[in-house]
Amino acid sequence: MTDNFIQSKIIDDVTAPQLAKAEAVASLHQKNGVTPKYFIQTFGCQQNEADSERLAGLCTMMGYEPASSPAEAKLILCNTCAVREHAEKKALSIIGQYKHIKDADPSVIIGVGGCMVTQQARADKLKMSYPYVSFTFDTGAIHTVPTLVYEALTGGKRRFVLSDEWKISEGLPITRSSRHQAWLSIMYGCNNFCSYCIVPYVRGRERSRKAEDIIEEARQLIAGGAKDITLLGQNVNSYKGGDGCDIAELMHRICALDGDFRLRFMTSHPKDASDRLIEAMASEEKIVKHFHLPVQSGSDRILAEMNRKYTRDSYLEKIAKLKAAVPDVSITSDIIVGFPGETDEDFEDTLSMMSEVRYDMVFSFIYSPRSGTPAAKMENQIPREVSSARMERLLALGDGISKERNQRFVGRTLRVLVEDVSKYDSTTLTGRGNPVRPIHFKGDKSLIGQFVNVKITGNETFCLNGELV
């Protein structure tokens, strides 16, 4: 087993039989005297990346080794996203390419999971039009993959799993893709039903893990070398761990663990951005001073149509509190352009919101109608040319503000976790600290995974440059 494999000590009744099945798959391979390879293709958000690490953990338990390309693999798993149409198209195109692999070797098993196939219509499409796909599994059925693989290996029928209910499966093994950076899911699902969003339909209702289970996993991660832990959830700040344990309390408890590490969290909903959470960020040294607080729009009319449950003013009040409590905070946001009925005035409100908040970075998206959501049925869908022109203006404004915000770091020495070697130059390292943009500096790759001090010397729009101190 690889160094990056971790197996939790707490295994619940949902997970235990599946782990036994994983061992049964490993025995089959052993009997045949083979060590086959697996390949996982991941689309979408950090939650999907975390899910893929659990899938990799199951593959490791089932006796597979990682492959560097799908062509080498005997088991291919595709973890899909459904948040925008583009993501679904990309996944379908990649799955289409797997046909050649299956034609060349009919013993290859291909499974598709994630948000796309949690929609009945998409699962049906894969069943009918992609006959080489062995099984699909929804976002609540990741733990069932060992059974699905076992059945596929032993000549069972194709399976298309859509669960009746979403349970937490505690104790799935994890094969982490990085030793020093870790995702830690603390809750799943979403209750907010923003009118444009497919997530509540494909990830189910909110359910929080028990605080003790999360803290135990954090302890294990830190012992295994994790230095940067991100608490994950679709709506992470509505975490309810029982006995009044909210996200602020949970973070205080994790920060109290021994070790040199730092803590992040995402994604937050503005309605649940509590004073307690802001105070936790202000008081705990280990919490990174970065708050991702998606605003989506600056227009009260559009916010109401989006069912966001806050107003421009109440959002700005939270931002003011946050800036007062954490003066050096980096604030980022998601913004949707071209929501149905968005007028020029509404869009100007979004631009003025950006100018007022002065975001360190904005992730912007052109509205994509999602079948089954209320917004997809709204009149006044915005023509693509109008949305694209608005998007260009938003990007230009966002990049200018981002560069101005980065400027405050120039001349300062920052504590940076070295993450990797630059893709463009093997003598340059990249790392991250409080700034949301990556930091580039010269150094040896033996520093990867360590904290170093870097003096920031330059500011580009998409990164900061510096030198080791």
Asked if 50 interacts with ligand 5AD (CB under 6 A), we say no
Is the CB of residue 110 less than 8 Å from the CB of residue 103? no
Q: Tell me how far, at minimum, the Cβ of 267 lies from ligand SF4, in Å.
A: 7
The residue among 175 and 299 lying less far from ligand SF4, judged by its C-beta, is 299
The residue among 196 and 261 lying less far from ligand 5AD, judged by its C-beta, is 196
Distance CA 215, CA 366 (A): 38
Instruction: Using DSSP, state whether 2 is helix, strand or coil.
Output: coil
Binding mask 346-365 for ligand 5AD (x = CB under 6 A): -------------------x
Q: Examine residue 373 and say whether the peptide bond preceding it is cis (omega within 30 degrees of 0).
A: no
Is the CB of residue 398 less than 8 Å from the CB of residue 434? no
What is the DSSP-derived secondary structure letter of residue 360? Answer: S
Q: Tell me how far, at minimum, the Cβ of 296 lies from ligand 5AD, in Å.
A: 6
**What six digits make up the tokens of 198?**
């497919």
The residue among 143 and 269 lying less far from ligand SF4, judged by its C-beta, is 269
Asked if 294 interacts with ligand 5AD (CB under 6 A), we say yes
Q: Which helix (H) or strand (E) holds 262?
A: strand 262-266
Distance CA 81, CA 97 (A): 18
Q: Tell me how far, at minimum, the Cβ of 192 lies from ligand 5AD, in Å.
A: 11
Partner touching 367 among ligand SF4, ligand 5AD, none, CB below 5 to 8 Å by kind:
ligand 5AD
Out of 18, 169, 296, 330, point to the residue binding ligand 5AD (CB under 6 A).
Answer: 296
Partner touching 315 among ligand 5AD, ligand SF4, none, CB below 5 to 8 Å by kind:
none
Distance CA 268, CA 402 (A): 20
Select the residue whose beta carbon is closest to ligand 5AD and give its number: 334
CA-to-CA separations, 102 to 114, 134, 135, 136, in angstroms, rounded: 21, 10, 14, 16
Within 193-232, the residues that bind ligand 5AD by CB under 6 A are 196-197
The residue among 192 and 330 lying less far from ligand SF4, judged by its C-beta, is 192
Partner touching 365 among ligand SF4, ligand 5AD, none, CB below 5 to 8 Å by kind:
ligand 5AD
**What six digits make up the tokens of 66?**
């990682």
Out of 83, 145, 439, 454, point to the residue binding ligand 5AD (CB under 6 A).
Answer: 83
Distance CA 373, CA 317 (A): 30
